[in-house]
Amino acid sequence: MQNPLKSIRVIIAIMLTVYLSAVGASAFKQGQQQGQQPPPRPAINQVSSEEAAREMNNPRSKWFREAKFGLFIHWGLYAIPAGTWKGQQIPGIGEWIMNRAKIPVKEYEQLAAQFNPVKFNAEEWAQLAQDAGMKYLTITSKHHDGFAMFKSQVSKYDIVDATPFKRDPMKELEAACAKRGIKFCFYYSQAQDWHEPNGAGNTWDFGPDDKKDFDQYLRDKALPQVRELLTQYGPLGLIWFDTPRLMTEQRADQFNKMVRDLQPNCLVNGRLGGKGDYRSTGDNRIPNEVVSGVWEVPATINDTWGYKSYDDHWKPPADVIFKLVDITSKGGNYLLNVGPTAEGIIPQPSQDILREVGKWLKVNGEAVYGTSPTPFGKEFGQLSATKTDQRGQPLFEQAKEWRCTTRPGKLYVHLFTWPAKSFTLDGMKGKVAKAYLLADPSRKELKFSQTGDNLTVTLPEKAPSEFDSVLCLETK
Ligand code: JFZ
């Protein structure tokens, strides 16, 4: 016989477990009903066809629509702590360390006296962008921490006046980019400025944002600094504003007007707070479908923007190439970030990844730059009939076998998985005249057959690229 006391205890334990899980489940349901679970947000919203046409027909954005691939650089004082403050690893993105660790301005400011990136070499950075096949370079002239990485008369909290380095790296980079035909662009944090009592975001030193004289900050720092950027540098490809806290349409207009007056051809991104020349997706968020208009995916190469010494979560070249092509086939640009160290070095793994991507682009760039999105769409994957995501919505099951980009008279089929013997495309409307692989220097014609809208191309046994072999179909 079993001990009766023990079995009673077991029964109580079971009852308790059942009860608690029921209570837990209903609390979860309540939370959902009360809207505590945020509704799933798409990576980017579709806009009306008029809006998309306005973006596409803008002559200023022509270079941007063709560029497809840009280098983002997050570089500032935050590269010194590199994710660690007073011996503690601070979770989250590196450039947010001042905010995450609630570092007082008086303490954070002292980093400037240590900032001496003697290994910085503008030629090497611009050369890396070129080797990677990137057509534009967007660098943080001032991030949320408020420190200007350029020579400023407006605030002495800048790299020339407050550091032993004393050089203006932005001037050097501008020249190095111009030499190589790379569009030089600035990121500028117009709203958040944790150094200024009236800038948005620093509540630990200066109290809540709604008590601040935000217009005073715009008038005395943000607008005059943007004026400096627009008058002392350029022509700029674009200005990348960010996190439009407290920005109203009217406040945004002051920036828009200044850009239009001083550099009529400079694009404005979608995070100013009013209408921009193009839109950004959420960071690292790639839509599941073709999105019309002009847009860009800002993305990290590991899991941080600003340098963190212990973030080794690098995306392999295969992943970066897939994302570049995936985004291009949906109509967008890929703005891929590196976070240089406080010495001025772009981490070697970032360099290696980018150069590998560049090697692939050297052979296959024709199927990326200046192309239009896929006429198909089924290759992106589909909503699962059975599986759901964390929010209970049908899960989008991404397919990764192939993608398609186009230009007049040509379809480029990007094969990420090499099919045995042949590739079949259904839904093929036009008549194919010629099929060959971009990686084949002789462009030897491949055998194909077409019946109705079904096309089958015979392929060689071995894939020419370990990443993405591009099959070019010339149509009649
Ligand atoms: C912002 C910054 O706060 C961050 O430090 C970095 O510079 C990044 C590129 O931009 O972060 C954002 C802004 C917008 C979204 C996500 C992160 N968003 O719309 O999903």
Question: For a pocket test of ligand 1, which of 144, 242, 271 has the largest count of ligand atoms closer than 8 A to its C-beta?
Answer: 242
Residue 467 has pLDDT above 70, yes or no: yes
Q: What pLDDT does 83 receive?
A: 98
282 CA distance to ligand 1 centroid (A)?
A: 7
Indicate if ligand 1 lies below 6 Å from the C-beta of 93.
yes
The answer to whether the beta carbons of residues 203 and 212 sit under 8 Å apart is no
**10 Å Cβ neighbour count for 460?**
13
pLDDT value at position 10?
Answer: 47
Among 96, 283, 300, 338, name the best residue to mutate to test ligand 1's pocket (greatest count of ligand atoms within 8 A of Cβ): 283
| Residue 161 pLDDT class (50, 70, 90 cuts) | very high
Centroid of ligand 1 to alpha carbon of 243 (angstroms): 6
Give nearest CA residue, ligand 1 atom 18. 282
For 271-327, how does the pLDDT look when each residue is reduced to its tens digit (9 = 90+)? 999 889 999 999 999 999 999 999 999 999 999 999 999 999 999 999 999 999 999
Interacting residues of 345 by C-beta distance below 8 A, sequence separation 6+? 119
Chain mean pLDDT for the chain:
93
Q: Is 243 in the pocket of ligand 1 (CB under 6 A)?
A: yes
Tell whether the model's pLDDT for residue 35 goes beyond 60: no
105 neighbors 175 (Cβ within 8 angstroms): no
The helix/strand/coil state of 443 is coil
Is the beta carbon of 298 within 6 A of some atom in ligand 1?
yes
pLDDT top residue among 357 and 476: 357
From the CB of 284, is ligand 1 less than 6 Å away? no
Q: What percent of the chain has pLDDT over 70?
A: 92
Task: Find out whether the beta carbon of 277 lies less than 6 Å from any atom of ligand 1.
Answer: no
DSSP for 280-298 reads EPSTT---SS---SSEEEE
Q: Has residue 33 got a pLDDT over 70? A: no
CA angle 275, 276, 280 (to 5 degrees): 115
Q: What's residue 450's pLDDT?
A: 97
* pLDDT for the residue 21: 39
pLDDT digit string, tens, across residues 92-104: 999 999 999 999 9
One-letter amino acid of 19: Y
The answer, yes or no, to whether residue 456 has pLDDT greater than 90, is: yes
Mean pLDDT of all residues in 413-437? 96
Q: How many C-beta neighbours within 10 Å does residue 298 have? A: 24
Per-residue pLDDT at 63: 98
Does ligand 1 lie within 6 Å of residue 103's CB atom?
Answer: no
Ligand 1 center from residue 273 Cα (angstroms)? 14
**What is the best residue among 100, 286, 305, 337 to mutate for testing ligand 1's pocket, by most ligand atoms within 8 Å of CB?**
305
- Cα separation, 180 vs 407, in Å, equals 26
> Residue 390 — very low, low, confident or very high, per pLDDT cuts 50/70/90?
confident
Distance 299 CA to ligand 1 centre (A): 10
Closest residue by Cα to residue 187 from 232, 154, 231, 150:
150
Query: Alpha-carbon distance 289 to 292, whole Å?
Result: 10
Query: Long-range contact list for 426-431, CB < 8 A, 24+ apart?
Result: 426/453, 426/454, 426/455, 427/376, 427/378, 427/453, 428/453, 428/454, 428/455, 429/375, 429/453, 430/475, 430/476, 431/475, 431/476
Does 109 contact ligand 1 (Cβ within 6 A)?
no
Q: Give yes or no for residue 16 having a pLDDT over 50.
A: no
The DSSP output letter for 222 is: I
- Number of the ligand 1 atom closest to the C-alpha atom of 93: 5
391 C-alpha to center of ligand 1: Å?
22
The pLDDT of residue 30 is above 60: no
CB atoms within 10 A of CB 26: 10
Residues 68-75 have a mean pLDDT of 99
Q: Is 95 in the pocket of ligand 1 (CB under 6 A)?
A: yes
How far apart, in whole angstroms, are the C-alpha atoms of residue 188 and residue 271? 11
DSSP labels for 51-110? HHHHHHT-GGGHHHHHH-EEEEE--SGGGTTTTEETTEEPPS-GGGHHHHTT--HHHHGG
Q: Is the pLDDT of residue 26 over 60?
A: no
CA 218 / ligand 1 centre spacing (Å): 20
pLDDT higher than 80, residue 4: no
Cβ(24) – ligand 1 distance below 6 Å: no
Nearest CA to ligand 1 atom 10: 242
Rounded (5°) CA angle 63-65-68? 100
Mean pLDDT of 8-28: 41
C-beta 305 within 6 A of ligand 1: yes
Q: How many residues does the chain have?
A: 476
